Structure 1
């Protein structure tokens, strides 16, 4: 990940964002998992991530072990405890495997901490400077929804593989990448009537602005409904849709998530590609399971979205959805949950100008999710 950009280099595209931090991008996403070694193998083998760095007993870490894997600008940290009890164990016991840290790349981690805390953020990590032979990193952090935290990472004076306390992790076993480029957005699920609270948090505490909102008329089926608002920082590199349940005849996907995750948390990570047909083909060949919509979806989709560059048949064969807004169109597909609990999943997205989130696909998508819920007995 290049570290030579400054906040001033990044064009502000969301004019309403106060953007006082500002943020350069997503630095990494850390998941607490039951078996970090096997999780790292999964993300390498099935998803095409590459080994980057390691922390554990061999590096002097007596409490936990972490494997860092990367593809494009997407960096995942997979962390497991080495001893019984402790906060990592409790997180896994309460939530199963899941996202603990959404780390944000900043120019000044101390200022980021001070600016957010004075606006009401609950401190998680006071600014700390860590050094090794490769330079120094400053980290700080704040609490967000549920037990999720944001860590601010200032790494402009660091040249190592990842962070102090980690060693470069290279191994002969490497897989071909699957064309994933960067994190497009990350979605948080929160409890009943909590969406506005957390949207206000991102606006007031972090200087974000609301891009778009969806109510239960936009996101509803015969059985279930939810509400969503999308918050973005000024340069548009960080986008956080926030979902909450809405009243429906049966239990929505948000309620199912909160029941199994035992609270609010990161629901899905949307990762961008420049060739979704190629990416999804590879992922399916490697065993990734995707949600499917009825074949009849494709009978009328071009009437709705108009002309596209791609042939429709490969999109239909793979189950890729299409939507259009005023600026262009997008292609998207969603995995089934990638964990044993029906909690976190991934979205693969290719934007052909569109800056929206696939509103035209919501009904078909959520009906597909409901079919999965029914098979699990949780609808």
Structure 2
């Protein structure tokens, strides 16, 4: 059973309207739909935002017992659902459960959309979405003017979609997590690397759906090395979760300029990094802190934004690909070194294991 694409991501947040304003004002997203008790979504407020092919659903619980409120109490704002598009949600649910996934919600059809939910990692689940016709999800009502919340300014040309999700798992859980995605969803390992940043170390494996439309970068800290940012995430988030989402951009330099102009910060890169780029477009990248790398098929540009979350857990990445299908071996250590410099300033003196 194939899973075609990352249909949408759902964040559970303390205040959906505030989170929506940040996405619109800082990253140029548009408000597409909204829902709440008055539209058949009891106990919650949800806002759907989009840009290009990227869809982000923000949900806040309106009462303490709502699952979104409970998630935020445990983890702070964060990704709670990675939704997989599929041509047959019922068959996809059966295949995933047969492969070892835990069934959370059995398939149901409402408004021309068939959905089902299965387990993922930690408190993150996967919603399987089969679109036949109708609304985006039951209970969400389209915003007719395609507006933005509270006066934010959209810029729909910056982002195409979501390139990949990066997931942090505790030391010792990487092998089991990789096996789970291979057996339950039919994903393949397409890239792996051991990353060293100073005295820290981390293992990274990339799993991808056969369609190529869903990519998860799975990261585990090396417990034999010094604790670092992955340990920070696991401690501050309260267990495994989505550390960042990479937004695919047609022009990452233009996106950085636009988003920086809106107030979004980016992790700095030392000038010495660009001395190794030789004839490549070093100056255009240097002024913005963008990194360049390549795999067997082409080049890719990448940069991490600084975290907007109070726990300094989740953050966004911007990526532009020119033929590259996976990841290079130079950018990942440089990206994580940049994030390490950012988090070192807010870290407590030691992260206990």
- The TM-score normalised by the length of structure 2 is 0.93
Give 2:205's aligned residue: 229
- In the alignment, which of 147, 163, 181 is matched to residue 123 of structure 2? 147
* RMSD between aligned residues: 1.5
Give CA-to-partner distance per residue, 1:249-303, whole Å, 9 cap, x none. 532211100000100011110111111111111011111111111111111223x
| Counterpart-to-counterpart distance in 1, 2:338 and 2:224 | 16
| Counterpart-to-counterpart distance in 2, 1:91 and 1:203 | 27
- In the alignment, which of 310, 326, 334 is matched to residue 304 of structure 2? 334
| Counterpart-to-counterpart distance in 2, 1:321 and 1:50 | 28
Give 2:274's aligned residue: 298
Contact kept in structure 2, 1:73 and 1:182, CA below 8 Å: yes
- In the alignment, which of 249, 257, 262 is matched to residue 286 of structure 1? 262
Give 1:194's aligned residue: 173
Give 2:159's aligned residue: 180
Runs (4+) of structure 1 exceeding 4 A deviation are: 171-174
1:210 aligns with 2:189: yes
- In the alignment, which of 256, 259, 275 is matched to residue 251 of structure 2? 275
> The residue matched to 1:356 in structure 2 has which SS?
coil
| Counterpart-to-counterpart distance in 2, 1:295 and 1:28 | 36
> The residue matched to 1:180 in structure 2 has which SS?
coil
- In the alignment, which of 339, 345, 350 is matched to residue 315 of structure 2? 345
Report how far residue 225 of structure 1 moved: 1.0
- In the alignment, which of 220, 237, 258 is matched to residue 261 of structure 1? 237
Contact kept in structure 2, 1:47 and 1:178, CA below 8 Å: no
> The residue matched to 1:46 in structure 2 has which SS?
helix
Contact kept in structure 1, 2:113 and 2:134, CA below 8 Å: no
> The residue matched to 1:34 in structure 2 has which SS?
coil
| Counterpart-to-counterpart distance in 1, 2:212 and 2:241 | 22
What is the aligned length? 344
| Counterpart-to-counterpart distance in 2, 1:61 and 1:116 | 27
Give 1:370's aligned residue: 340
Structure 1 unmatched ranges of 5 or more: 1-20
Structure 2 unmatched ranges of 5 or more: none
- The TM-score normalised by the length of structure 1 is 0.87
- In the alignment, which of 327, 332, 350 is matched to residue 357 of structure 1? 327
Report how far residue 196 of structure 1 moved: 0.8
